[in-house]
Amino acid sequence: MEISAIIPHIEALIFAADRPLTTLELTDMLNNAHAFIEDRASLDQVEAAIAAVREKYASEFYPFEVRETGGGWQFLTKRQYHQTVVQIHGDKFLKRLSAAALETLAIIAYKQPITKGEMEAIRGVSCDYTVQKLLEKELIVITGRNENMPGHPLVYATSRSFMDYFGINSREDLPRIREIVPDEMAEPTSLHPQETETATDEADVLMVTEDGSLVSNNAVSSDATTPDADTTAAADELPPASGENDGGEQPIA
What tens-digit pLDDT sequence spans the chain (253 residues)? 788 888 999 999 999 988 889 999 999 998 888 765 667 888 899 999 999 999 999 988 999 999 888 778 989 888 888 788 878 766 655 667 888 998 999 999 989 899 999 999 999 999 999 999 999 888 999 999 988 888 889 999 998 888 877 777 777 778 876 766 665 555 554 445 454 444 444 445 555 565 555 555 555 555 555 555 454 444 455 455 444 444 444 444 4
Vertex 22, ends 8 and 12: CA angle to 5°?
A: 20
CB 184 within 8 A of CB 90: no
Coil, helix or strand at residue 205:
coil
Residue 97 and residue 99: Cα distance in Å, rounded? 7
In the 8-state DSSP scheme, what is residue 171?
G
Which pTM value belongs to this model? Answer: 0.52
Coil, helix or strand at residue 247:
coil
Q: Is the dihedral of CA 39, 44, 45, 50 positive or negative?
A: positive
Residue 26 and residue 204: Cα distance in Å, rounded? 73
